[in-house]
Structure 1
Amino acid sequence: MQAWRKGPDGPQKTSSDSMSRLMDSDMDYERPNVETIKCVVVGDNAVGKTRLICARACNATLTQYQLLATHVPTVWAIDQYRVCQEVLERSRDVVDDVSVSLRLWDTFGDHHKDRRFAYGRSDVVVLCFSIANPNSLHHVKTMWYPEIKHFCPRAPVILVGCQLDLRYADLEAVNRARRPLA
C-alpha cells in the first residue's frame, strides 16, 4: 500500500512498514494534499487539558455541572479521530491555501511512560498550566519544558493558561458545589 506522510519538502510517499509505525489515523495519510499536524497537549493533572481539546475537537460546551465536576484523569487521543466522523471533520482546516488536519493528543499528567510515547513524531506541543494554580506554572519551568525539550527538541512549544474563570473564584465555594447533596 502506498501512502503519504509529511516530509521536510512536502508530502512524501511512505512504505507500509513505515506507515505501521505511525500511530496517527491512516485516513489523512492516504490523501497527498492534506498536511497532518500532530499536536501533543501536556501539563499537570487537572489544569484543563482535556477541556481545551474537547472545545476544539468536539465543539463542546460544558454545563455548570461539568465545570464543577470532580477531576477524572483522562486520555483523549487518536481513537477519537477513528470512531467519530464529526471529530475527524473538525480536525481539518485550510491554512494559507494548504489543507491541514490537526491531530490533538491528550496526555496523563502523572504517567511519564505514556507521555514519552505521545511525544513521538510531534509537530508542536501545547504546554498547559492553570491560572488558578501557581504551582502548575512553576512546574512549566522546572518539569514540563525540560521534558519537552528532551523528547521533542525541535518542536515549537505553545504555552497556554487554562481555567481563567477560576482565577478569582472562591475555591471553598467551588469545592462545596462539587460535593454531592446529602
Structure 2
Amino acid sequence: LRLKVVVVGSCACGKTTLIRTFLRNDVRDTVPSPTVQEVYTGHIQHHRTEVRLVIWDTGDSDLLLDPSRSSCYAEADVVLLCFSVRDIFSPSEVPSRWAKEIRHFNPLVPVLLVATQIDLREDPNIVRELAQIK
C-alpha cells in the first residue's frame, strides 16, 4: 500500500521539521532553509499492513513562479496544511491562500490542518517578539 502525502504551508512554518521528526525522529534545532520541493519516503504499520509513505515537502513560492507545486497535488491521498502558532499571520493564510489552492488542484483530497511549532509558544524570545507586534 502506498500513500502520497503533500505538506504545504507558509515559509518557515515548520513543514520540513515536522516531516524529519516523524520519519527520522530528527529534532535538530536547525535554521530554516527554503525548500523548493523535496520528496521523502518512509514506512509505517497500519493494522498489520505496511504502508509506504511518499511525503512531498513543498516550498512557499508563488504558483505562477513554480508550476511544479501544482503538479504535486495530483494523485495526493492527503494534504497536511501547516501553520505556525508562533506567526500571527500564518493562520490567516489557511483559508485565503492554501485552502483555495488545494481545492483548485485537487477538490476531493482530504486535508488535515496541522499547528506547528507549538513547542515555541512559551519561549520567552518568541513571546517578546509577538508582544511587540501591534
Paired letter, 2:15? K
Output the CA distance in 2 between the equivalents of 1:137 and 1:173. 19
Letter paired with 2:94: V
Matched, 1:171 2:91: no
Would you say 1:106 and 2:63 are equivalent positions? Answer: no
Partner of 2:106: 152
Structure having the higher helix fraction is: 1
Please give the secondary structure, in 1, of the residue aligned with 2:28.
coil
Q: Secondary structure at the match of 1:106?
A: strand
Aligned pair partner of 1:43 in 9, 12, 17: 9
C-alpha separation in 1, matches of 2:27 and 2:13: 17
**One-letter code aligned to 2:5:** C
Q: Give the structure, 1 or 2, with the largest relative contact order (CA under 8 Å, sep 6 or more).
A: 2
Matched, 1:73 2:28: no
Aligned-partner SS, 2:91: helix
Contact preservation (8 Å) 2:37, 2:56: yes
TM-score, scaled to structure 2: 0.83
Task: Give the aligned partner of residue 132 of structure 2.
Answer: none
Tell me by how many angstroms 1:173 deviates. 7.5
* Runs ≥4 residues deviating over 6 A: none
Name which one, 1 or 2, has greater alpha-carbon Rg.
1
C-alpha separation between the residues in 2 aligned to 1:36 and 1:155?
A: 15
Tell me the TM-score normalized by structure 1.
0.62
On the 8 A contact 2:86/2:121 being kept in 1, the answer is yes
For residue 92 of structure 1, the aligned residue among 37, 40, 43 is: 43
Question: Which residue is 1:53 aligned to?
Answer: 19
Percent identity over the alignment is 36
Question: CA offset at residue 172 of structure 1?
Answer: 8.6
Q: Name stretches of at least 5 consecutive residues in structure 1 with no aligned partner.
A: 1-34, 82-90, 175-182
Aligned residues between the structures: 125
Question: Offset at 1:171?
Answer: 3.4
Alignment RMSD (CA, Å): 2.0
Q: Which has the higher strand share?
A: 2
The answer (yes or no) to whether the contact 1:40–1:119 under 8 Å persists in 2 is yes
1:15-54 CA deviation, whole Å, 9 max, x = no partner?
Answer: xxxxxxxxxxxxxxxxxxxx10000000010100010011
The unaligned stretches of length 5 or more in structure 2 are: 130-134
Q: Specify the alignment match of 1:119 in structure 2.
A: 73
**Counterpart-to-counterpart distance in 2, 1:104 and 1:57:** 10
